[in-house]
Amino acid sequence: MTASTVGYHRPRSAAPLRAIDAVSAERAAAGFAISARLDIGRVDLRGHFPGMPVYPGVFTLESIVQAVAAGTDVPLSLREIHSGRFLGALLPGDTLVLRIDVEPAADGWAATVTGTRAGGEPVIKLRAVLGDLPTTTPADPPPPVTGSAAMDVTAVEAALPHRHPMLLVDRVIDLEPGVIVRAEKAITANDPCYAECDDLPLATRAYPASLMLESLGQAAALLWGVRVSSDDVLMLAGVRRYRVTGAAYPGDVLHHMVQLTHIKADTAFATGRTWAGDRPVAEVATLIAVQRRRSVLNAARHTPPLLQEAR
């Protein structure tokens, strides 16, 4: 592929949004060097977080997947995150700029990613593998529920600063605060990620890995939520060894089991697994969240871009 830049349209598969505006790719020694950009201002950020919109970290993952798929001209899904660090919040006035080096790997393409704002301030560093999702997953059901504490959707809404279409936990079936949570999310054909999937085969309708990770992360947030004041939000800060081991489709119910491993100052560390019915479809060794003041994010939102870039 020669170096070129083209406009980019929403992929014809399940996706939460058209996550890049333009992408360019050129051949490198072992693969491709890909560049992409996204104007955050054109993205509908309703529901994350209401009254204080922030581009979700998992949507940055979706931007990367779509950029690599377009740059390599191969349909791809997120298979594994070796390590990822989310270094800053993307706000409506920002532009996400991605620089991605990809080369062939056993399961598809290995990607090394740096994402910045237009002024060069880093917002993400990531090493991941993109490829085809596993088509079959051996049954290995989640452990039986032993606790009795539960939350319906109204209790979940009271605990999480997310609303439609970004509220991705329907109910909690087991909760021991600060220890373990079991939560569920029903996948339906009416989920927004399927908006342009009419008449497409089932293989194109795998629930996006970015949303599966966001749903897991919201379940994890419920473990620490009692520690968060009304002026604070929990934000994704890092992921280590996240693996997608199977696919989930409309009609499936995602079942998350997350354990809080430890808390250090304003940072929480958790580990978790996700099932679709009795099939394990994802697991994460370490999920890292940080507690941030709403007032600090709102101050950044109202600071002129040139001053933000100078900091």
Mean of pLDDT over the chain: 88
**Distances 48 to 51, 91, 165 between C-alpha atoms, Å:** 8, 11, 9
% residues pLDDT > 70 (the chain): 87
| pLDDT for the residue 164 | 93
Report whether pLDDT(23) > 90: yes
Q: Which amino acid is at 67?
A: A
> What value, to the nearest 5°, has the Cα angle with vertex 95 and ends 295 and 28?
135
* pLDDT digit string, tens, across residues 80-129: 999 999 999 899 999 999 999 999 998 899 999 999 999 999 999 999 99
Say how far residue 34 (Cα) sits from the centre of its chain: 20
Distances 80 to 64, 110, 145, 152, 250 between C-alpha atoms, Å = 13, 9, 28, 31, 22
Q: Which domains does the chain have, with CATH numbers?
A: 4-134 (3.10.129.10), 153-295 (3.10.129.10)
Is residue 24 over pLDDT 80?
A: yes
Give the 3-state secondary structure of residue 52.
coil
Strands 32-39 and 232-244: unpaired
User: What is this structure's pTM?
Assistant: 0.90
pLDDT score at 234: 80
**What does residue 161 show for φ and ψ, rounded to 5 degrees?**
-90, 45
pLDDT bucket at 298, cuts 50 / 70 / 90:
low
Eight-class DSSP state of 304: -
Residue percentage of the chain with pLDDT more than 90: 67
Instruction: Tell me the per-residue pLDDT of 121-150, one tens digit each, with 9 for 90 and over.
Output: 999 999 999 999 887 788 899 998 876 678
pLDDT at 174 over 80: yes
The answer to whether the beta carbons of residues 75 and 208 sit under 8 Å apart is no
